[in-house]
Amino acid sequence: MVQFYGSFVKDLHNYRAPLDALTKKDAEFNWSKTCQKSFEKIKLVLQSDLLLTHYDPTLPIIVAADASNYGIGAVITHRFPDGSEKAIYHASRSLTTAQKGYSQIEKEALGLIVAIEKFHKYIHGRKFALRTDHKPLLAIFGSKKGIPVYSSNRLQRWAILLLNYDFQIEYVNTNSFGQADALSRLIAENIENLEKEDRLVASVEADIIAEYNGVISNLPVTAKDISKAASKDSDLVKVKQFVKNGSWYKIEKTSSLYPYYIRRESLSITQEALTFGHRIIIPKALRSRVLKTLHQAHQGMERMKKIARSYVFWPSIDKDIETLARNCNDCQAAAKNPIKTTLEPWPKTTSAFERVHIDYAGPINSIYYLVIVDSFSKWPEILQTKVISSAATIQMLTHIFARYGNPTTLVSDNGTQFTSDEFAKFCRIRGIKHLRSPPFHPQSNGQAERFVDTFKRALQKSKGEGTTQEALQTFLMSYRSTPCSSSHNQLSPAENFLGRKMRTIMDLLTTTSKSYEEESEASSNMRDQFNRHHGAKYKQFSPGEAVYIKDHRSTKTTWTPGFVIKKLGKVKYSVDCDGKKWDRHANQLRRRDQQQGQQYQQHLLDAFDLPNPILPVNDSIRSSVFIPAPTSPVQQLGTSSSQTTTPRTTTTTVNPASTATSGMAASSSTRGSVRGSSTSNRGGTSGVGQQRSDRPTRTRMPTNRLNMDPTKKTYH
């Protein structure tokens, strides 16, 4: 204090000389009459008007306060234009027994509160600077974000009191804070009559004690239990002594006292119990009882921590709460699913049907569906069944494997049909590695599970659009031909599995550049090899030719006689067998007697004749009645039953010089000769008589043919 105000005292060094001699190195400390006289003179100088000034409302005001382990000192000063400061008022007071148990930060805050209340008449309604040498108070009393939530209740209450004043809190290093620091140490005994600031502090202290008792009432232990257990806790005994003395020696991180050391600014003593802020520090012997109470409702870790932070503290409280919650069987039995592990995809396959995934869908309308998906191409197969036993599953898989081959790996879930010994034997015999997904974890068989979901949704969407079977086939056709984004090359399942695109209805909208008749080189080589191996010869049959036809109507194949009607393709023919029309391959036909074939050829030609025409009358020839050709089994090709014509009587004039022929021959010849003319005269509409472009050509003609005179319209 003398050092701080030394600039205002003339010849102060002369007054201090005897005292300074005592502080020299190797000097013997001897308090002489000269020293006492010098000390008394300095006191008088400090108390004189030389160092004090009158209050001036126009000058800036500074309030400074400091606290020691046993007292508080405060001073209010003016700052003059030249930067110098002079005191207006000094104040100091000792700490009560309860206040001596405060933490250092609370003692420093108490000093500011005492100073504010002491100088209330000077500073209320005016802006002033509030100085302290305890830096943590800047965050509590000077924060623009408000009062920190986790500060002690005592500090929070004092911060609320300071809201009545307009101040700017400032930090000053302790070495430059002598005027207030000295006053906190040079104090008189505490007087019995409390002043206003003392009554305020006592009121706050009463609130703290009431709150302490409220916390104790919510704990399974009493204040007496805590005090008794704390007296037996070696760590808390040492900490309590440090707090009372207000001084700590440096403690290593490995020490059990280190957690208290780093929180020393917030430690205090209330009702002989250590507190951290507003939280009671629980001794080791009582911690298990407190933890049991915190976990009564089986709340989670975070909720337990929130409750604990409102009442109690010990260094490892968070860790102890976590251990308790993890080891509680009831909590673990009802715990939520843990965070999912990272996704591990199946190994990539390099060929179709290398690994297949299978699963059952359903029942849908009492029907189960065995779903098979190839992991490489995404090609699906779906088979219907009413039972899902191992035997039924093996039967369906055998059918599929016979078509595409045995896969290397088969993936399924843990259904009983897949876990049976019978199914294991089925896979072992075929050299198939059977992998099963973990129980109740269908995601491991995601290929099949995802397709099952897609398949079910497709059936649901197609309700009312046909039978389930029709919807299933439509879905498979569409799925197999649609490009798949999850495949390795973005192609459709058909392209990856079959090596080609599937032809769908949509292909009708495009024209293909390749001819259907084109024959590949491999196909040509195969055809030549077959012909050489079997000694094959080219066969060709003509319409009307007599043949033997392979008859499959009986269990024993026989050959039945018939006739060729027409050629349907390169090796396919339409034949007549007992009045029935059959389609047969050339390998199912054999030639028979040519004479029978010629007779049938005549019948075939007659089947295409027009009704008998009325020829011009000639008196030189007698009338003849012409009868139509006998009905042929193939007459249906040219004549319907409704087109039968009534025989007519016609008269024909014949040249006398011409050689007479028999009536039937003449009539046959005449009919063949006049057919074209007669058809033309009648208009040639469609019917039995209309000449067909595919009509077979007549190969045999009569030797005596009648010729027609166009001018006379007669034959000669």
Q: Can you give the pLDDT at residue 643?
A: 44
CA distance 72 to 75: 11
Whether the Cβ atoms of residue 127 and residue 221 lie closer than 8 Å to each other:
no
Alpha helices in 440-585 (DSSP H): 446-461, 468-481, 493-498, 521-534
Q: Which residues contact 639 (CB under 8 A, 6 or more apart)?
A: 607, 608, 688
Distance of CA 305 to the CA centre of its chain: 33
Which of 451, 421, 434, 437 is CA-nearest to residue 355?
A: 434
Residue 450 pLDDT class (50, 70, 90 cuts): confident
Asked if residue 305 has pLDDT above 90, the reply is no
- CA 351/CA 410 separation, integer angstroms: 14
Find, among 287, 281, 288, 199, the residue nearest to 242 by Cα.
281
Residue of 330, 388, 332, 377 lying closest to 350 (CA atoms): 377
Enter the CATH code of domain 546-600.
2.30.30
Instruction: Provide the b/e sequence for 406-437 (b: ≥16 CB within 10 Å).
Output: bbebbbbbebebbebeebeebbeeeebeeeeb
**Contact between residue 406 and residue 429 where contact means Cβ atoms under 8 Å apart:** no
The percent of residues above 70 in pLDDT, for the chain, comes to 65
Q: Which residues pair with 381 in a beta bridge?
A: 372
* Superfamily of domain covering 61-205: Ribonuclease H-like superfamily/Ribonuclease H (3.30.420.10)
Sequence letter at residue 551: D
Q: What is the pLDDT of residues 492-539, one digit of tens each?
A: 888 888 888 888 887 777 765 554 455 566 667 776 776 666 666 778
What ranges in 379-440 are assigned the alpha helix state H?
A: 390-404, 416-419, 421-429
**pLDDT band with cut points at 50, 70 and 90 for residue 388:** confident
Query: For 135-143, what is the mean pLDDT?
Result: 80
Could you tell me where in the chain the CATH 3.30.420.10 domains are found? 61-205, 355-507
Compute the C-alpha angle 442/448/451, nearest 5°. 115
Alpha helices in 535-622 (DSSP H): 594-606
230-267 residue pLDDT tens: 888 888 888 888 887 777 888 888 888 888 888 887 88
- Label each residue of 612-648 as H, E or C: CCCCCCCCCCCCEECCCCCCCCCHHHCCCHHHCCCCC
Q: Looking up tokens 């009158």, which residue turns up?
A: 54
* Burial class, 627, CB count within 10 angstroms (exposed 0-12 / middle 13-18 / buried 19+): exposed
Task: Give the integer Cα–Cα distance in Å for 620 and 622.
Answer: 7
Query: What residues pair up with 77 in beta bridges, in sequence order?
Result: 62, 87
Q: Where in the chain is the domain with CATH 2.30.30?
A: 546-600
Q: 355-507 — its CATH code?
A: 3.30.420.10
More confident residue, 532 or 87: 87
Cα gap 640→551, rounded to integer Å: 27
CATH label, 224-332, candidates 2.60.40.10, 3.40.50.150, 1.10.340.70, 1.10.260.40: 1.10.340.70
Quick one: CA dihedral 185, 188, 189, 195, positive or negative? negative
